[in-house]
Amino acid sequence: MRKRFQIGVLAGLALVASACGDDDDSAALPAAQAAVTTAAATQPPVTTAAPATTQPAAATAAPAEAPVPSRIVSLSPTATEMLYAIGAGDQVLAVDDDSNYPPETADKMPGLNGFEPNVEAIAGLEPDLVATDGTNPDLLSQFDTLGIAHWEGQAAVTFDDIYTQIEQLGAVTGHVAEAAELVGHMQSEIATVIDALPVLPEPLTYYHELDPNGFWSVTSDTFIGLVYTEAGLVNIADAVGEGNPYPQLNAEFIVSEDPDLIFLACTKYCGETPETVAARPGWDAMSAVVNGNVIPMDDDVASRWGPRIADYIEQVGAAVAHAAGVPAG
Amino acid sequence: MNVEQHGTPRHHGGGGNWRRLAWFLASIAVVVTAVLLGAMIGPAGPPAWRIPLAFLDHLPGVDIDSGVSEAQWSLIWNIRMPRVILAGIVGAMLSVGGAAYQGVFRNPLVDPYLLGAAAGAGLGATLMIAVWGDVGRDWPVAPVPVVSFLFAMATVAVTYMVGASFGGLRSSTTLVLAGVAMVSLTTAIQTFVLQRNSEVVREVYNWILGRVSTATWTDVRLVTPYVVVSCVVLFLHRRHLDMLRVGDDEAATLGMPVARVRLVVVAAATLGTAAVVAVSGLIGFVGLLVPHAVRMVAGSSYRRLLPLTAAFGAAFLILVDIPGRTLTAPAELPIGVVTAFFGAPFFIFLLRTHQVAG
C-alpha cells in the first residue's frame, strides 16, 4: 500500500495530478487492513489467548532452546516502540529513520528507510531478527532468501491486535513477563479512562484532522477511529460511508457539522495549533473553537498502534470530560 | 457555435465588430453563470436559490430578506466563495499560459508546465515541508507557497539558460528538450528528498494534489497580482504570438525580435503559472484542453484566443470543481482528477464535432 502510495506521488510529480483518484492510497499512513500477524520464522506461534487471563503464567511459554535475538533491526516505528517498552531496547541494533521514539533510538539510525528498505544494507548489519509492518511482501521474500528471520506486526485493527503483537515480541525476544505486564498496564489504563467517561444524553461528535492541506480525516473504520469510538465519540467523517477510511473532507461540511471536538493530528509535521484553527476564515465561530475543545495530539502516536496509544486515549478522555463540562452552544 | 478556420483579420468590417461584441458578451455570460452556479452549489449551507438573494442583500444599500443566517453567509463567503474565485483565477491563468506556451513553441502538445514550473514548484514545496520546515515557521506568510513559487521561477530560468546556451534561441526545440531534462532532474531530486523524509510523503502528496478545496481569500489576494501582471503582458503580446504562428524566420523577417518576444512571453506565462501552482497545487490538462477547445470554436487568432481562453478557462475550472465537492460529499474529489475526468470526454466530443483549427 505504501509502495503504491509513493508511485502515486511520482505520478503526481509527473504532472499528471489526475492519475491518482483513490483516496485510500493518498492518506493512509496506518494501513489498516487485515491484522493477520505472523510470528517470526524462527519461533513457534505465540499464544493469542486474551492477555488478562494469562498473567505471569505466560512466562512458561517462552521458547526454551531457541537463542534470543540480540541484533534486532526494526523497520517499523510501532515495533520499535513495543520493543523498547518491553525492555528489549538493548537487543535492538538498528531502526529505520521514522522510529523516533523512544529518544534513545536516535543513536541507532544508520539511514534505513522503512518505505523503500535497502535489503543489502540491512543484511550487512547481520541482524538475527528484522521487525517490519508486513506491508512489503517482496522485502519479506528477500529476507527468506537470505535466511534472515523476520517478524511482522501489521497495522492493528483492534486493541487485541496490539496486545497480541506485544506478547509475540515478548516471546520472541525473551521478555514475556515484561510484555504481559505492559499489556496489563495498558488494559487497566484504558479501562480507567473508559470508566471515567461522563454519561451524556447525546454522544459528542469529533473531527480528527490528519492533514489541514485538504482536510484529510479518518472514519471509524480505522484503528485511530476505533480509539475515539471507545471514548464514546461519534465521528463526523462517518458520513462519507464505507470504503473510504481516510477521506478528504469538504470544509463547508466540517464547519456546518460543527463537531464538539477537533483533534489535530498534524501538529508536529504541519505545525497546526488551536490558534491556527481559530484563525482559519469561517472556523472562528465553531463550537469546538469557541469552547476551547480543539486538542493538539501527537502525530506519531496517532498514526501508530504502539504502547503510547494508552496515553492517547487518556488524552481523549480528558478532552471529552472538558467538552462535556462546557454548557452546550 | 461558430466554426472558423482562421482568425478574423483585423481589417474586417462591421461584421467583425459585431462578432467581437458577441464573443465578448458570451464570455462575460459564461463566467458570470459559472461563478453563480459555483456559489449556489455545495455540500452544506442554505438552499441554492436563496444564495443569489443573500448576495443582493449584502450589496451596499440593498436590504432584502434572503432567509440566510449569519453563520450560513459566513460559510458561503469565507469558505465557498474563495474556492470559486480561486478556481476561476487558476483556470484562467493555466489556460492563458497554455495558449501562450503553445504559441511560442508552435507545438499543440505543450502545456504551461513544459519548462519546469510545476516540477520546480513541487521540489520547492517538498524541500520546505521535508527539510526546511522550521525555517519558515515565523514567516509572516505561508512559507510553502512562497518557496514553491521561487523554485518554479528558478527552474524555468535554469531551463531557459541551458536552452539558450546550447541551442541559441532561434530554435524552440532545444528549449523544449532542456525543459524535459530539467523536469526529470527536478523530479529526481524531489523523489530523493521525499525518500529520505518519508514521514512527509502524505503532506507533500496532498500539496501536489491541489489545494483549491482549502482556498481562502488570502490565497486569492496572494495570487491575483501575479496573474494580472502575467495576463496583461501576454495580452499585449497577442499580435506577436500571431506572427510567431507562421514561423520564427518569417516573424523575424517581419521585423519581430523573436528571441526577445519568446523570453518575455515565457517569463510572463511562467510568472502566472508559478503563482497559481504555488497556491493551488498541480492541476493538469486545463492548459491543454481549454486553449484547444477555444481554437476549435473561435479560431486561432491570439487576439481573440487569449481573452476567450481566460474566460472559458475560468468558467471551466469553476464548473468542474462543483462535482469535485458534491459528487462524493462530504468527501472531496481532487480537482485534478475531476478536470481530466470531465474534460477529456468533452475534449473528445469537440474533436469529433469541430475541425481542428490551427
- pLDDT tens for A73-121 read 999 999 999 999 999 999 999 999 889 999 999 888 887 877 777 888 8
The residue to which cell 511482501 is assigned? A137
A145-197: per-residue pLDDT in tens? 999 999 999 999 999 999 999 999 999 999 999 999 999 999 999 999 999 99
* Residue B281 lies in domain: 14-353
B260-292: per-residue pLDDT in tens? 888 899 999 999 999 999 888 888 889 989 999
Residue B252 confidence (pLDDT) above 90: no
Is residue B268 in some structural domain? Answer: yes
Is residue B27 in some structural domain? Answer: yes
B47-85: per-residue pLDDT in tens? 888 888 888 888 888 888 888 888 888 889 999 999 999
Among the partner-chain residues A29, A212, A249, the one whose CB lies closest to the CB of B331 is: A249
Residue B75 and residue A16: Cβ atoms within 8 Å?
A: no
Residue A218 confidence (pLDDT) above 90: yes
Is residue B3 in some structural domain? Answer: no
Which chain B residue shows the shortest CA-CA distance from A211?
A: B203
Average pLDDT on A34-45 reads 37
**Residue bearing the bigger pLDDT, B11 or A282:** A282
Does residue A210 contact residue A296 with C-beta atoms inside 8 Å? no
Q: What percent of chain B has pLDDT over 90?
A: 34
Which CATH number fits the domain that encloses residue B188?
1.10.3470.10
CA–CA dist B61, B70 (Å, integer): 18
The pLDDT value recorded for residue A279 is 92
Which chain A residue shows the shortest CA-CA distance from B334?
A: A21
Residue B94 confidence (pLDDT) above 90: yes
A22-39: per-residue pLDDT in tens? 333 333 333 333 333 333
The domains of chain A are located at 61-192, 197-325
For A41, the grid coordinates are: 520464522
Class for the domain spanning A197-325 = alpha beta
Is residue B77 in some structural domain? Answer: yes
Which chain B residue shows the shortest CA-CA distance from A299?
A: B199
- For chain A, the average pLDDT equals 81
Put simply, the chain A residues between 195 and 234 with a CB less than 8 A from any chain B CB are: 210-216
Residue B202 and residue A15: Cβ atoms within 8 Å?
A: no
Tell me which residue of B108, B105, B47 sits closest to B76, measured CA to CA: B47
**Residue bearing the bigger pLDDT, B91 or A25:** B91
Put simply, the chain A residues between 273 and 302 with a CB less than 8 A from any chain B CB are: 280-282, 285
For B43, the grid coordinates are: 455540500
What H or E segment, with its residue span, contains residue A207?
A: strand A205-209
DSSP A261-292: EEEES-STTT---HHHHHTSTTTTTSHHHHTT
Is residue B233 in some structural domain? Answer: yes
- How many helices (H) and strands (E) chain A has is answered by 14, 8
Please give the distance of CA A178 from its chain centroid, rounded to a whole number. 21
The pLDDT value recorded for residue B154 is 93
Is residue B203 in some structural domain? Answer: yes
What amino acid occupies position A174? G
Residue A214 and residue B196: Cβ atoms within 8 Å?
A: no
The pLDDT value recorded for residue B342 is 79
Identify the residue among B111, B183, B203, B326 best suited for mutation to test binding to A, counting A beta carbons within 10 A and taking the highest. B203
Average pLDDT on A59-67 reads 51
Class for the domain spanning A61-192 = alpha beta
For A113, the grid coordinates are: 528507510
Residue A97 and residue B334: Cβ atoms within 8 Å?
A: no
Domain pair A61-192 / A197-325, same fold: yes
Tell me which residue of A190, A199, A197 sits closest to A313, measured CA to CA: A190
Put simply, the chain A residues between 77 and 106 with a CB less than 8 A from any chain B CB are: 97-98
The pLDDT value recorded for residue B167 is 64
B183-213: per-residue pLDDT in tens? 999 999 998 888 887 777 877 887 777 778 8
Tell me which residue of A99, A64, A70, A94 sits closest to A82, measured CA to CA: A99
Residue B209 and residue A20: Cβ atoms within 8 Å?
A: yes
A14 chain-B contacts, CB cut-off 8 A: 187
Tell me which residue of A223, A168, A299, A170 sits closest to A30, measured CA to CA: A223
Total count of domains within chain B: 1
Is residue B5 in some structural domain? Answer: no
Q: How far is A115 from chain B (nearest CA, A)?
A: 7
For B103, the grid coordinates are: 504559441
Torsion sign across C-alpha atoms B159, B164, B166, B169: positive
> How many CB atoms are located within 10 Å of the residue A106 CB?
11
Burial (CB count <10 Å: 0-12, 13-18, 19+), residue B95: buried
Q: Give the range among A47-51, A66-70, A272-276 with minimum mean pLDDT.
A: A47-51
B171 band by pLDDT with thresholds 50, 70 and 90? low
The pLDDT value recorded for residue A63 is 46
Q: How far is A253 from chain B (nearest CA, A)?
A: 6
Is residue B325 in some structural domain? Answer: yes
The pLDDT value recorded for residue B355 is 57
Does residue A146 contact residue A119 with C-beta atoms inside 8 Å? yes
A233 band by pLDDT with thresholds 50, 70 and 90? very high
Residue B148 confidence (pLDDT) above 60: yes
